[in-house]
Amino acid sequence: MLIKTLLSLTALTLTLTSCTKKQEAENSAGTTAAESSEILVGEYGSMTGGEATFGISTHQGIMLAFKEVNSSPEKLKGKTLKLLSLDDQGKPEEAATAVTKLITQDKVMAIIGEVASSRSLAAAPISQQYKVPMISPSSTNPKVTEVGDFIFRVCFIDPFQGTVMAKFAAENLKVKKVAIMRDVKSDYSVGLANYFKETFTKMGGSIVSEQTYVSNDIDFKAQLTSIKTSKPDAIFIPGYYTEVGLIARQARGLGLKVPLLGGDGWDSSKLFEIGKDSIVGSYFSNHYTTDTTDPRAKDFIAAFKKEFNAVPDGLAALGYDAAKVLIDAMKRSKSLTSSTDLRDAIASTKDFAGVTGMITVNEQRNATKSAVVVKVAGDNNTFVTTINP
Ligand code: PHE
C-alpha cells in the first residue's frame, strides 16, 4: 500500500512538473468543490512525447470553450469553470494515474480525455468505478464507451472510419490491392486495420501484405521491403503521425510510390514536418476540415486563431466540442452535485450543434457523425470528400 502511494506520488510529481507554467497557475485552484463558486473539470492528455500535438491541441480547444462560458454574463449557473490538466506523456499507465488523482484528490466533477483509445481504455474503468462522467473528444475504438454508462465520446467510431477509407480506396482511388501496416500496441490501430480489411475485402479488394510495428519504432525498412514485393496499389497505415511520417519517408526511399492511406491519427501539423514531400498526396479520414462553409465552424476557427495564433486541427475542434457538450449538459443537469444527474444530462444530448457536426449521444454513448477525407498538400490538407454514416 505504502509502495503504491509512493509510486503514484512520484508519477504525480512527474506529471505536474511537465505541465507548463500557465497550466500550473490554472491548476492552483482550491478543491472545495461542493460550496465553491467554481466547478472543477479534469483533463488528461499527451502534452509531451511523440503524440504531444494531440494533447496540446485538445487542451487549447477545451480552454477556448471554458473561456467563452466563463466570460458570458450568466457563466455556468453563476459558477466559474476551472480546468485541471495533467500530462500523461502518451503512456496508458500515466493516464490511469492522472485520472485517479483527478478524481480522488482534486474531486473533479467530470473528465475530458483522452485522444488515443489505448489511454482512454486505461483510464475509463477508474472514471466508471467512481461514477465520474468522462467524455473522450476523439477516441474512436468501440471498446472505450463499452467500459460503462459513465463513459461518453463526441466522435464517430472506427467501424465507420474503416468503412470510409475502404470505400474511398475502392471507389474513388479504384485500387484493388492494398498492403496494411498496423501498430500492434495501439487498440486504435489494430481495430481500424481490421475494420478497413473487412469492408475492403467485402468490396472485392485484396489485402496483399500485413505488416506490424510498435509505437516509438524508427526503422520500418524490413516491413516496407516485404510490402514492396507484394506490389500493392496503396498502403493503409492506421497509425499516429510520428511513425507515419517516418514510414512515408522510408517507403519513398525504397522506391514505393503508391498512395498512403490513413485515419484520424494522421491529424497533426507535425505529419508534414516529419514526412516532408514523402507524405504529400496521401489521404486520410478525419472529423473536420478547415475548408468548411459552416458558419459555426468558421467562427470557431476565427476565435481559435485569435486566441492561439494557429489554425485549429481536428483535435482542437473535438476538444472544443467535448467541452461544449459537457457545459451544455451541466446547464441542463438537475443538479451540479450529483454525478448521476450529470451523467443523465450528457446521455440525453440531442442535436447539439458542434463545430465538428451535429452531436447526438446514442444508446452506446457514441456520436453518429460524418467523416471527411482530406489530401495532404504540404503543411495543410485539402478537402476531398464527405462520407456520411
Ligand atoms: N481516434 C484516435 C484513437 O482513438 C485518436 C485521434 C483522434 C488522433 C483524432 C488524431 C485525431 O486513438
Delineate the domains of the chain, giving CATH numbers in brackets. Answer: 38-156+293-369 (3.40.50.2300), 159-286 (3.40.50.2300)
Name the strand (E) or helix (H) holding 60: helix 52-70
Q: Based on the number of CB atoms within 10 Å of its own CB, is 2 exposed (0-12), middle (13-18) or buried (19 or more)?
A: exposed
- Put residue 47 in one of left, alpha, beta given phi > 0 → left and psi -120 to 50 → alpha: alpha
Find the 76 Cα to ligand 1 centroid distance in Å. Answer: 29
Could you identify the atom of ligand 1 that is nearest to the CA of residue 186?
12
Find the 258 Cα to ligand 1 centroid distance in Å. Answer: 24
Largest Cα–Cα distance of the chain, in whole Å?
67
Could you identify the atom of ligand 1 that is nearest to the CA of residue 118?
12
Find the 78 Cα to ligand 1 centroid distance in Å. Answer: 34
Find the 157 Cα to ligand 1 centroid distance in Å. Answer: 10
Find the 294 Cα to ligand 1 centroid distance in Å. Answer: 23
Indicate the DSSP class of residue 232. -
Find the 139 Cα to ligand 1 centroid distance in Å. Answer: 5
Ligand 1 pocket, mutate which of 138, 185, 372, 374 (most atoms under 8 A from CB): 138
Residues touching ligand 1 (Cβ under 6 Å) are 54, 115-117, 138-141, 188, 264-265, 267, 314-315
- Name which residue sits closest to atom 8 of ligand 1, judged by CA: 265
| Measured distance CA(24)–CA(22) in Å, rounded | 5
Ligand 1 pocket, mutate which of 140, 141, 186, 268 (most atoms under 8 A from CB): 140
Find the 287 Cα to ligand 1 centroid distance in Å. Answer: 10
| Measured distance CA(99)–CA(123) in Å, rounded | 6
Establish whether the linkage from the previous residue to 307 is cis, with ω within 30° of 0: no
Find the 238 Cα to ligand 1 centroid distance in Å. Answer: 10
- Name which residue sits closest to atom 6 of ligand 1, judged by CA: 265
**pLDDT the model gives residue 20:** 38
pLDDT tens by residue, the chain, 389 residues = 333 333 333 333 333 334 433 343 344 443 444 457 999 999 999 999 999 999 999 999 999 999 999 999 999 999 999 999 999 999 999 999 999 999 999 999 999 999 999 999 999 999 999 999 999 999 999 999 999 999 999 999 999 999 999 999 999 999 999 999 999 999 999 999 999 999 999 999 999 999 999 999 999 999 999 999 999 999 999 999 999 999 999 999 999 999 999 999 999 999 999 999 999 999 999 999 998 889 999 999 999 999 999 999 999 999 999 999 999 999 999 999 999 999 999 999 999 999 999 999 999 999 999 999 999 999 899 999 999 98
